[in-house]
């Protein structure tokens, strides 16, 4: 398995860098604006922010913003009480255009049981218009902060890694994410926002 480069942007080309980028992710306590995640670069500059815990009045909605607070993705979970017969609870990430019309960016299915959580979680980009059932998959353990986002060919585009230097204070609260050259960082953190919620992180009430 090797890194993959020169991919088309998923959210925006401004979030695609020519070299690998290492980010630091910090969980924000629920008492601070409802919890969520703060993502900084090597210069400690805030690049992304994830708001959760019912930011918009609904527990199953997440918001990804850039470092200036601009909305990038609105992420909702479908299923549950309203769709009780649905086999899978599905998360969907949307962008809004200048007229406020929402565009589907990605969707991913939440594991239905603890047994199924050992299998890769798969992500589909946009409305499904090709023969593949999925475009990316998450392999490894997000709970242990040891997983990767891989493309359909098995190449990794991003990795989540525990920070060894902070193990004594809880590496699950602060961890690294490495995004490969040319790959959309905003999409990566949209996926990480969903993983954080699925596994009971700081975005979840």
Res 123: pLDDT: 95
pLDDT, tens digit (0-9, with 9 covering 90-100), for 138-157: 999 999 999 999 998 899 99
Angle, CA of 155, 159 and 164, to the nearest 5°: 145
- Tokens found for residue 60: 């199953």
Q: Are 137 and 127 in contact (CB under 8 A)?
A: no
Q: Which residues contact 80 (CB under 8 A, 6 or more apart)?
A: 60, 89
Tokens at residue 190, please?
A: 């949209």
Fold for 13-198, please state it: Porin (2.40.160)
The domain spans of the chain are 13-198
Residues 150, 18: Cα–Cα separation, whole Å: 19
pTM of the model: 0.86
Angle formed at CA 141 by CA 188 and CA 201, multiple of 5 degrees: 70
Per the prediction, the chain carries an average pLDDT of: 83
pLDDT at 182 over 60: yes
């Amino acid at each position: 398995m090797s890194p993959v480069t020169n991919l088309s942007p998923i959210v925006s080309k401004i979030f695609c860098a020519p070299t690998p980028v290492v980010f630091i992710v910090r969980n924000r306590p629920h008492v601070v604006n409802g919890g969520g995640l703060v993502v900084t670069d090597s210069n400690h500059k805030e690049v992304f922010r994830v708001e959760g815990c019912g930011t918009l009045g609904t527990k199953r909605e997440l918001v990804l913003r850039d470092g200036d607070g601009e909305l990038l993705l609105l992420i909702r979970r479908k299923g549950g009480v309203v769709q009780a017969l649905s086999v899978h609870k599905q998360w969907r990430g949307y962008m809004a255009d200048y007229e406020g019309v929402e565009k589907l960016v990605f969707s991913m299915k939440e594991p239905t049981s603890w047994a199924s959580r050992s299998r890769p979680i798969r992500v589909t980009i946009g409305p499904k218009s090709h023969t593949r059932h999925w475009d990316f998959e998450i392999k490894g353990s997000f709970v242990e902060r040891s997983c990767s986002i891989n493309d359909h060919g098995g190449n990794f585009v991003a990795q989540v890694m525990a920070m060894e230097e902070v193990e004594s204070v809880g590496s699950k609260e602060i961890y690294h994410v490495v995004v490969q050259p040319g790959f959309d960082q905003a999409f990566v953190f949209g996926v990480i926002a969903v993983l954080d919620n699925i596994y009971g992180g700081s975005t979840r009430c």
